[in-house]
């Protein structure tokens, strides 16, 4: 089975109103080239589930988002994501604001076919009042009330990996794979963007095989985009682009999405990469240190 396709072919499964799960964390290992390709389409009214960074910011700024399911949207060194902040303060988007760990539980519930997973998270806070979809349940085993974290099921998950083979076996060599495995397991259809395409023999090395966090039957499409995480990091291949994020912040604050798109988006990913200094410059970005 050969799952290697172009970004635009891969993304053709995404229709108006769908729920999209996006892997990575803040400014780290985000499938940004896939997000940019989505920005070039007419798709709208999306619900986005993410540990959000500029992926969420850009999709909101471009008017493609009806609802964001999030625990944070942040660029770490820039704590407040500028485009998401603007969209929220304009009252433009519906939100389901949950706890970071709760998002993991929601994805697990979807992956396991459970309607919900019971948890203490959210008790005593405004999370429950502001997220009317989240119900409380009684336990058959104790007298406490429990939060029933509902399954969060993406129609499509977008993920960025270090390498993949044509059958969809994905390696993440970064220090953390975050919740990408649960996005892949929860979603009906998972599209990965890989910096490198490898032969299947790559995985014969048990050290490498241990860096495969979900099985190939959870991956439906593979897109080859070296540098595709930019401006987020794809450690150990490259770090995140601090200077570009600052520029992005300035453009979003001054001219908004149109100013950013005019300066950077381009008609293709090649256009985009040229506008940020080319692939070699991306691959030379230093690894982040915390």
Judged by beta carbon, residue 240 or residue 272, the one nearer other proteins is: 240
Q: For residues 167 and 1, is the Cβ–Cβ distance under 8 A?
A: yes
Q: How far is the CB of 105 from other proteins (least distance, A)?
A: 9
Q: Is 179 in the site for other proteins (CB under 8 A)?
A: yes
Residue 124 is a binding residue for other proteins (CB under 8 A) = yes
Burial 26-38 (b: 16+ CB within 10 A, else e): bbbbbbbbbbbbb
Q: Is 245 in the site for other proteins (CB under 8 A)?
A: no
Q: Which of 12, 41, 125, 205 binds other proteins (CB under 8 A)?
A: 125
**Would you count residue 290 as binding other proteins (CB under 8 A)?**
yes
Among 4, 18, 99, 173, binds other proteins (CB under 8 A): 99
Q: CA 9, CA 217: separation in Å to the nearest integer?
A: 19
Measured from the CB atom, the residue of 45 and 145 that comes closer to other proteins is 145
Shortest distance (Å) from residue 3 CB to other proteins? 25
Exposed/middle/buried for residue 189 (C-beta within 10 Å: 0-12, 13-18, 19+): middle
DSSP-assigned states of every residue in 117-167: EEESTTTTSHHHHH-TTPEEEE-SSSSSEEEEEE----SEEEEEEEEE-TT
Under 8 Å between Cβ of 53 and 27: yes
Size of site (CB under 8 A) for other proteins: 46
Of 3, 30, 40, 177, the one binding other proteins (CB under 8 A) is 177
Least CB distance to other proteins at residue 175 (A): 4
Instruction: Give the binding range for other proteins (CB under 8 A) out of 15-23, 142-150, 156-164, 259-267.
Output: 142-150
Q: Are 284 and 243 in contact (CB under 8 A)?
A: no
In the complex, what is the shortest distance from the CB of residue 223 to other proteins, in angstroms, rounded to a whole number? Answer: 25
142 binds other proteins (CB under 8 A): yes
Distance CA 169, CA 213 (A): 9
Q: Is 210 an interacting residue with respect to other proteins (CB under 8 A)?
A: no
* Position among 35, 70, 96, 221 found at the interface with other proteins (CB under 8 A): 70
Contact status: 141 vs other proteins (CB under 8 A)? no
Q: Can residue 98 be called a binding residue for other proteins (CB under 8 A)? A: yes
Which helix or strand (DSSP H or E) is residue 280 part of?
Answer: helix 279-283
Cα–Cα dist 66/126, whole Å: 22
Q: Does 84 bind other proteins (CB under 8 A)?
A: yes
What is the smallest separation between the CB atom of 16 and other proteins, expressed in angstroms? 23
Q: What tokens appear for 42 in the block?
A: 């007419």
CB 188 within 8 A of CB 113: no
Tell me the window of 65-73, 152-160, 217-225, 245-253 that interacts with other proteins (CB under 8 A).
65-73
Q: Please report, as residue ranges, which positions from 156 to 175 form the binding site for other proteins (by CB under 8 A).
A: 175
Strands in the chain per DSSP E:
19-22, 46-52, 65-73, 94-97, 116-119, 135-138, 145-150, 156-164, 170-171, 189-197, 221-224
Q: Which phi and psi (to 5°) does residue 65 adopt?
A: -115, 130
Residues near other proteins, by CB under 8 A? 25, 52, 70-74, 79-80, 84-85, 88-91, 94, 97-102, 104, 119-127, 130, 142-145, 175-179, 182, 287, 289-290
């Amino acid at each position: 089975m050969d799952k290697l396709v172009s970004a635009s072919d891969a993304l053709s499964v995404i229709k108006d109103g769908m729920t999209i799960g996006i892997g990575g964390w803040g400014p780290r290992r985000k499938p940004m080239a896939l997000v940019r390709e989505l920005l070039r389409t007419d798709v709208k009214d999306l619900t986005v589930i993410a540990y959000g960074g500029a992926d969420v910011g850009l999709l909101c700024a471009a008017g493609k988002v009806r609802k964001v399911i999030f625990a944070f949207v942040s660029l770490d060194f820039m704590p407040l994501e500028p485009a998401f902040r603007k969209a929220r303060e304009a009252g433009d988007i519906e939100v389901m604001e949950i706890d970071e760990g709760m998002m993991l539980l929601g994805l697990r519930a979807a992956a396991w076919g459970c309607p919900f997973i019971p948890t203490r998270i959210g008790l005593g806070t405004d999370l429950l009042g502001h997220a009317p979809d989240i119900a409380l349940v009684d336990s058959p085993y104790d007298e406490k009330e429990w939060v029933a974290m509902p399954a969060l099921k993406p129609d499509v998950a977008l993920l960025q990996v270090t390498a993949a083979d044509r059958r969809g076996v994905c390696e993440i060599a970064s220090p953390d794979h975050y919740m990408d495995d649960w996005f892949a397991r929860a979603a009906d259809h998972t599209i990965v963007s890989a910096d490198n395409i490898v032969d299947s023999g790559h995985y014969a090395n048990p050290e490498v095989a241990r860096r495969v966090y979900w099985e190939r039957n959870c991956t439906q499409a593979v897109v080859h985009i070296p540098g595709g995480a930019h401006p987020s990091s794809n450690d150990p291949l490259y770090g995140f682009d601090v200077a570009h994020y600052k520029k992005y912040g300035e453009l979003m604050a001054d001219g908004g999405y149109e100013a950013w798109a005019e300066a950077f988006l381009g008609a293709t990913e090649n256009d985009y990469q040229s506008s940020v200094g080319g692939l070699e410059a991306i691959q030379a970005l230093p690894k982040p240190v915390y």
